[in-house]
Amino acid sequence: MLFRLRTLPLLLVVLALACPAAAVDFSGERLTYEFGWRNISAAEVKIQIDPSPVAGDPGYKVTLDVTGKPKLDWIWRIRDRVTALVRAADLRPYRYFFVQREGAFKLDTEINFDAASNMLVSKRTHYKKKGPKQLKSKQAPADHFDPVSALMYVRHIEFGPGVSHRIKIFDGKRKHVAEYRCLGDERLETQLGTFDTWKVQPVIIESEGRDDKAKAEKVKEVTVWIDKKAPHHVLRVESEALWGFIYGELIKK
């Protein structure tokens, strides 16, 4: 199948973009995105953000559900869920849990902040016919974001022509360095109306692991349109595909 969400952590990096204090209050947000291929709707992503204490401090509980269109279940059934706890002051991750259910592929990825070591520590479980298999745990320094906290971090950045930002991301398996380059201003028409946006290109600078530099260089070109008006919603995402393009668009807020 051309449109697959097995690489959801990196798709969230696409949506995302030392950390300054957060300037956006995400409490109560209810967002719905449509994802598809060549304007053929294939999946829906719903994001819910509510206030929640995190280790005694103000924070957010984020729930993200990815549901493939039922009519496409016979090709590739997608029922993914991500839940996360994020500190409100600096948008640093505290807990991230990704339940990946795509076709016969079943993987749980958990990332927790360990205060004693000041590290992010992952636990991954791959479910096979023979039973669950624990995969090797990985770690990343606390200056990394998980895919959800990265998604939120970009929303308080003021972009502009020529402006770029780098961010470190840990998906539970690998550490990545991504750069978000603003290509300029653009007026964008969507299902929700017409918006003045920043046109941003995320680029993976490096990924850890054997041959990962080469893999990073093979990532198709991605373009993100971000609403200039606060709270700076990500309005549309487009990525090159083997034929045509994969898209994501905000359809409800």
Question: pLDDT for 153-185, tens place per residue?
Answer: 878 788 888 899 898 999 999 999 988 899 999
Cα 69 from chain centroid (whole Å) = 20
Task: Report yes or no: 68 and 90 within 8 Å, Cβ to Cβ.
Answer: no
Number of domains in the chain: 1
C-alpha span between 177 and 186 (Å, rounded): 26
Instruction: Report yes or no on 199 lying in a domain.
Output: yes
The percentage of the chain sitting over the pLDDT mark of 90, rounded to a whole number, equals: 57
Do the beta carbons of residue 233 and residue 8 sit within 8 Å?
no
**Looking at residue 244, what DSSP letter applies?**
S
In a domain, 135, yes or no: yes
* Sign, CA torsion 146/147/152/153: positive
Judge contact between 17 and 165, C-beta under 8 A.
yes
pLDDT higher than 70, residue 16: no
DSSP state of 240: E
Which amino acid is located at 113 in the chain?
A: F
| 241 belongs to a structural domain | yes
3 inside domain: no
CB atoms inside a 10 Å sphere around CB 105 = 15
Within a domain: 2: no
Q: How many CB atoms lie within 10 A of CB 159?
A: 23
Residue 1 covered by a domain: no
Q: How far apart are CA 136 and CA 172, in angstroms?
A: 10
Report the alpha-carbon distance of residue 35 to residue 37 in Å, rounded: 7
pLDDT digits (tens, 9 = 90+) for 56-80: 999 999 999 999 999 989 988 999 9
Residue 230: inside a domain, yes or no?
yes
User: In terms of C-beta density within 10 A (0-12 exposed, 13-18 middle, 19 or more buried), how is residue 155 classed?
Assistant: buried
Q: Is it the case that residue 1 has pLDDT exceeding 50?
A: no
CATH number at 75 reads 2.40.360
Q: pLDDT tens-digit profile of 208-247?
A: 865 555 454 445 578 999 999 988 899 999 887 656 678 8
Under a CB-based contact definition with an 8 Å cutoff, are residues 61 and 52 in contact? yes
Residue 247 sits in which domain range?
8-252
| Of 119, 174, 181, the residue nearest 154 (C-alpha) | 181
